[in-house]
Chain A
Amino acid sequence: MLKNFKLQTAEHDVVKLNDEIVEFVKSSGVESGTCTIYTPHTTAGLTITSFWDPRGLEDLQDEIRRIVPTRIDFKHQHDTPQDAAGHIKSSLIGVSMSLIIENGELLLGHSQGIYFLEFDGPRNREFYVKVQSDK
């Protein structure tokens, strides 16, 4: 089963995706299998991190920006410096992840949130979730 989800992001947004993905996995009826989450963008990423303190999400974007600051001397100049930095951040963080489904539910730790990381924004974005049964 494959489903497409749409979202609108703000600049450097961090968007929690747990609810819709958990619901989709439950509705699939798959007891044991794999859930693949994928976003078809080059200036965004997908990650798992703790959801308990929202300020931690700001830390995450801050530290990613510290590692890859938006500079004006990127060789990629067809678009904008923010876009060039976003490509690198997206490559480093990745645009897909696989999670385990067991007993009809996603195997997520009690602190684990699935997050869409916006490295540009505001943008209209999308991601896909595919559920595959082991059987």
Chain B
Amino acid sequence: MGKHENAMKNQVYSLPSLIRQQYEDLEPKTRKLLTTPEIFSIQKIIITGCGDSFAAGLATKHIFELLTGIPTEVVTSIELSRLYATNQLGNSPNNPFIFAVSHSGTVARVGESVERANKYGAYTIGITANKQSYLGKSAKKTLDLEIPSFEPSPGVRSYLVSVLSLLLLAIRIGEVRGKYTMDVAMDYRRDILTQADLLEESLPLMDSKTLELALNWSEMEAFDFVGSGFDYAAAWYGHAKIFEAAGKYAMHVNTEEWLHLNFFMRNFSKIGTVMVANSSNPCLSRALETIGYSIELGRPTLVISDIKEDVFSEDCTVIATPISKYPISIPLTQFVPLALLSGYIAKIIGEEDGRGCKDNWSFAQNGNAVKNSEIIIK
């Protein structure tokens, strides 16, 4: 075993086969989950979750709107459970339609948000691998995930399956509502499946470039992860993995705000700056400007993109993600280099995932800090 091997990398290398396996499992399940009358009753969609599950919502919000034409919000579970206006829950029968994502189903705030939403008449769908969990029991329906167990690490496989589940649901809702033909819907689905092959082909180069970068970036003091639209979801995911795996400061911010705020940080040469910029993003022009300013400032800059490397300055590192037929498939692969980066940095600096939940972090053992919390339904 090489000295840089780590569990996140192993999870990453399992993703192509996971996409194929989960597609076979989830395509029929997402087809049958909602009845046609339920699909036609949807006036508004909310996606909620914590951590990676929240990021999966960010990754698919615009895709839900694009494919279904239904206004879609991503709401943190604490806002949905404590703050979200009750007159906006159940304001019409079965609305809003809430997709609550939690692989374990045991996260207190997610279950609480679903209980509260039910109380005021919303329609709740749990996306979870544990039907007997708090979320599984609280939601009116569940999309039952079955992710084969694997060497544990900060979430890589579970994140991909959350994104895949939401993508397949969006495609299904748009299809049934007649936004496109069944042939087009199947073409979207085939493109999702094709990402398994494309990722498999891309991984060796993606991996070697990421390792090279991680060796240079392991002593960075902090990280900025920058993107807009569903690129922002990948940025959000990247910052989360730096916290979880490497235990370092990280921030997520949208492309515009980075130029209003983050670039003022003094110690520019010690802040690894990751710009996520896919070719289909309407914000691409701003992303290219921001990448230019980051390089000019002297920030060590990594660009994650499906655009040809020679479009970018030689003064930044570019890691290529697969080129998909449809932009909706991009969120399935663009987070992968960020998982590799965090895994390698953690390994290089000798960090244990989640600090091993030892010493000062012992209160978080077995997910205690997120599972055990007072439930208040008001």
Among B124-132, B177-185, B313-321, B323-331, the stretch in contact with A: B177-185
A-contact bits for B81-92, CB 8 A (1 contact / 0 none): 000000000000
Q: Is A56's beta carbon under 8 Å from chain B? A: no
Residues on B with beta carbons closer than 8 Å to the beta carbon of A72 = 36-37, 39-40
Is B37 touching A73 in the complex (CB atoms < 8 A)? yes
Q: Is B31's beta carbon under 8 Å from chain A? A: yes
Residues on A with beta carbons closer than 8 Å to the beta carbon of B40 = 72
Is B182 touching A79 in the complex (CB atoms < 8 A)? yes
Q: Which residue of A lies closest to B41 (CB)?
A: A72
Question: How many of A's residues come within 8 Å of B, CB to CB?
Answer: 16
Is A121 touching B36 in the complex (CB atoms < 8 A)? no
Q: Is B365's beta carbon under 8 Å from chain A? A: no
- Please pick, from A80, A123, A124, the residue contacting B175 in the complex, using a CB distance under 8 A: A80
Is B178 touching A82 in the complex (CB atoms < 8 A)? yes
Q: A27 CA to B115 CA in the complex, in Å?
A: 71
B-contact bits for A1-43, CB 8 A (1 contact / 0 none): 0000000000100000000000000000000000000000000
Residues on A with beta carbons closer than 8 Å to the beta carbon of B176 = 80-81
Q: Is B362's beta carbon under 8 Å from chain A? A: no
Q: Is A69's beta carbon under 8 Å from chain B? A: no
Q: Is A78's beta carbon under 8 Å from chain B? A: yes
Q: Which residue of B lies closest to A77 (CB)?
A: B36
Q: Which residue of B lies closest to A43 (CB)?
A: B182
Q: A80 CA to B173 CA in the complex, in Å?
A: 10
Q: Which residue of B lies closest to A123 (CB)?
A: B183
Those of B69-101 within 8 Å (CB) of chain A: none
Q: Is B280's beta carbon under 8 Å from chain A? A: no
Q: A126 to nearest B CB, angstroms?
A: 14
Q: Is A120's beta carbon under 8 Å from chain B? A: yes
Q: Is B35's beta carbon under 8 Å from chain A? A: yes
Q: Is A83's beta carbon under 8 Å from chain B? A: yes
Q: B30 to nearest A CB, angstroms?
A: 12
Q: A123 CA to B182 CA in the complex, in Å?
A: 9
Q: Is A52's beta carbon under 8 Å from chain B? A: no
Is B36 touching A73 in the complex (CB atoms < 8 A)? yes
Q: A34 to nearest B CB, angstroms?
A: 33
Is B181 touching A121 in the complex (CB atoms < 8 A)? yes
Residues on B with beta carbons closer than 8 Å to the beta carbon of A82 = 178
- Please pick, from A78, A81, A123, the residue contacting B181 in the complex, using a CB distance under 8 A: A123
Those of A46-82 within 8 Å (CB) of chain B: 72-74, 77-82
Is A120 touching B36 in the complex (CB atoms < 8 A)? no
A-contact bits for B39-79, CB 8 A (1 contact / 0 none): 11000000000000000000000000000000000000000
Q: A58 CA to B175 CA in the complex, in Å?
A: 25
Residues on B with beta carbons closer than 8 Å to the beta carbon of A74 = 36
Is A81 touching B178 in the complex (CB atoms < 8 A)? yes
Those of B155-197 within 8 Å (CB) of chain A: 175-176, 178, 181-183
Is B178 touching A80 in the complex (CB atoms < 8 A)? yes
Q: A72-B40, A120-B181 are in contact. Are A78 and B31 (CB under 8 A)?
A: yes
Q: A72-B40, A82-B178 are in contact. Are A77 and B35 (CB under 8 A)?
A: yes
Q: A79 to nearest B CB, angstroms?
A: 6
Q: B38 to nearest A CB, angstroms?
A: 9
Residues on B with beta carbons closer than 8 Å to the beta carbon of A124 = 183
Query: Which of A11, A82, A124 has the most chain B CB atoms inside 10 A of its CB?
Result: A82
Q: Which residue of B lies closest to A82 (CB)?
A: B178
Is B182 touching A81 in the complex (CB atoms < 8 A)? no
Q: A70 CA to B182 CA in the complex, in Å?
A: 15
Residues on B with beta carbons closer than 8 Å to the beta carbon of A83 = 182
* A interface residues with partner B (beta carbon < 8 Å): 11, 72-74, 77-83, 120-124
The 9 lowest CB-CB distance pairs between A and B, nearest first, are A72-B36, A72-B40, A77-B36, A80-B176, A72-B37, A81-B36, A80-B175, A82-B178, A79-B182
Pairs across A and B, CB under 8 Å, 29 listed: A11-B181, A72-B36, A72-B37, A72-B39, A72-B40, A73-B36, A73-B37, A74-B36, A77-B35, A77-B36, A78-B31, A78-B32, A79-B182, A80-B36, A80-B175, A80-B176, A80-B182, A81-B36, A81-B176, A81-B178, A82-B178, A83-B182, A120-B181, A120-B182, A121-B181, A122-B183, A123-B181, A123-B183, A124-B183
List 8 extra interface pairs beyond A77-B35, A80-B175, CB under 8 A: A72-B39, A72-B40, A74-B36, A81-B178, A83-B182, A122-B181, A123-B181, A124-B183
